[in-house]
Structure 1
């Protein structure tokens, strides 16, 4: 049986409110930003054109700063971020995106088009907004 319906793409379900911080900002400032925006992930901007984006998660702050008894205001984001960040493109079928995220043990990732962040997609987005039951 051939399915003639167009697939649901990442761009159809991603959110475009993206939280990007400078790598030199303190973890305290990043955490304040996370609390204010009610997010668990901040993307870290490139330092120059040939750099890559990074990501800092609540788990990074917990394991690399709080658990090691480091001062939030004395640690910079670049010291604890993960870089380069795993990303997907906006025209990716959400089924492949779901496979990639689960295979890598990720719950969310940025969406890049032409090397620029255009959104963020999460497994929650995919499950709750992406699957159309026929």
Structure 2
């Protein structure tokens, strides 16, 4: 059975929730990514995620200024975490059940 780690993206880039959406767009462009992990504010705070889709539907579609909006205003939180050892068919089922496309894979959670 194929595992999530065999198909996952390994270059994870994060951004502060207080960063502007314009800064997030620039970082995505520079790194060639379609999403960024939004950093936690404290140890008990879950990670968030901001995607190209968030930017299109929550900023651009309404004519809002990405230089004025903050990442925390449009991010999805909590970010669903997938163990890299999980079989891809289970990951696909999770994607379908939650109606989203992006997940965070976490290997060694002690880091």
Determine the C-alpha separation between the residues in 1 that align with 2:36 and 2:25: 9
For the pair shown, the structure with the greater C-alpha radius of gyration is 1
CA distance in 2, matches of 1:100, 1:109: 10
SS at match of 1:33: helix
Q: 1:64 Cα shift?
A: 1.6
- Give the Å deviation of 1:115: 7.2
Report the equivalent of 2:106: 112
The question of 1:10 aligning with 2:20 is answered no
The answer for the alignment partner of 1:44 in structure 2 is 38
- What secondary structure does 2:83 align onto? coil
Of the three residues 81, 88, 95, the one matched with 1:87 is 81
Give the TM-score normalised by the residue count of structure 1: 0.74
Give the unaligned 5+ runs of structure 1. 1-6, 117-134
Moved over 6 A (4+): none
Query: What is the distance in 1 between the residues matched to 2:79 and 2:106?
Result: 11
TM-score (norm 2): 0.88
Q: CA RMSD in A?
A: 1.6
| Higher strand proportion | 1
Structure 2: give runs of 5+ residues left out of the alignment.
Answer: none
Cα distance in 2 for partners of 1:59, 1:15 equals 18
Report what 1:127 is aligned to: none
* 2:19 maps to 1:25: yes
Give the drift of 1:107: 2.2
